[in-house]
């Protein structure tokens, strides 16, 4: 068995890493607003052993690296394994996530060890350069990587979109997105009333 990472306590093998990755319940993120296709796992909903094994590999593997992704002003730490790129993030309210994408799903991040630095960027840092800011983003104080924009849910016409078939509300990420509960298409009049068409 090939040893992947050795510490004073344990040795993590490639099969053990593959098992840990398989034990995690990966959720698919909606690729809206220029966000590339990827999957994520929320720490508080994950088996801790599997989370710890993968988190340690991302952090400590000799082949892991720091790199800038698109318009972000800070480098993230990445690790590649069996056709996927892995990284860790934390969101608002202390929500910690492990993320992954396939190596061919998006351009690779720019590696610090190859001289990469932050770039001038127009639009959201997660989207291709020049992409307009999505609804709900308005000028205001916030993290530097957001370049003077903040998200306000109450200003986002996509949230709370009514489904005329089942009566529930959902996020209308794309004007053609069907209701995730009953699969009914959005009513064109409702889409137009919210300025989304």
As a whole number, mean pLDDT of residues 167-177 equals 88
User: Residue 186: what pLDDT?
Assistant: 93
Q: Which residues make beta-bridge pairs with 84?
A: 81, 102
* pLDDT tens digits, 110-142: 999 999 999 999 999 999 999 999 889 999 998
The reply to whether 164 and 108 lie within a common domain is no
Checking if the pLDDT of 3 tops 60, the result is no
Share of the chain above pLDDT 70, in %: 93
The reply to whether 19 and 100 lie within a common domain is yes
pTM comes to 0.80
Dihedral sign computed on CA atoms, order 75, 79, 85, 86: negative
The phi and psi torsions of 79 (rounded to 5 degrees) equal -145, 140
The reply to whether 103 and 166 lie within a common domain is no
Asked whether residue 135 is assigned to any structural domain, the reply reads no
The reply to whether 163 and 104 lie within a common domain is no
Asked whether residue 53 is assigned to any structural domain, the reply reads yes
User: Residue 142: what pLDDT?
Assistant: 84
Q: How many CB atoms lie within 10 A of CB 57?
A: 21
Tally of domains within the chain: 2
User: Of 114, 134, 165, which closes a domain?
Assistant: 114
Q: Which domain does 72 fall in, by range?
A: 3-114
The reply to whether 10 and 80 lie within a common domain is yes
The reply to whether 104 and 161 lie within a common domain is no
User: Of 87, 114, 141, which closes a domain?
Assistant: 114
User: Of 53, 85, 114, which closes a domain?
Assistant: 114
């Amino acid at each position: 068995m090939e040893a992947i990472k050795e510490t004073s306590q344990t040795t993590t093998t490639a099969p053990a890493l593959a098992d840990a990755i398989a034990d995690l319940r990966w959720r698919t993120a909606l690729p809206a607003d220029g966000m590339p296709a990827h999957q994520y796992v929320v720490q508080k909903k994950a088996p801790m052993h599997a989370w710890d094994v993968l988190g340690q590999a991302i952090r400590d593997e000799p082949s892991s690296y720091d790199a800038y992704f698109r318009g972000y002003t800070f480098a993230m730490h990445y690790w590649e394994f069996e056709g996927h790129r892995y990284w860790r993030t934390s969101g608002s309210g202390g929500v910690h996530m492990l993320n992954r994408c396939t190596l061919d799903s998006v351009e690779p991040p720019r590696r610090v060890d190859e001289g990469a630095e932050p770039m001038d960027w127009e639009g959201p840092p997660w989207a291709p350069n020049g992409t307009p800011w999505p609804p709900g983003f308005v000028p205001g104080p916030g993290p530097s990587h957001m370049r003077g924009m903040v998200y306000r849910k109450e200003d986002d016409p996509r949230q709370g979109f009514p489904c005329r078939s089942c009566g529930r509300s959902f996020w209308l990420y794309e004007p053609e997105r069907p209701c995730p509960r009953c699969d009914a298409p959005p009513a064109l009049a409702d889409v137009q009333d919210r300025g989304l068409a």
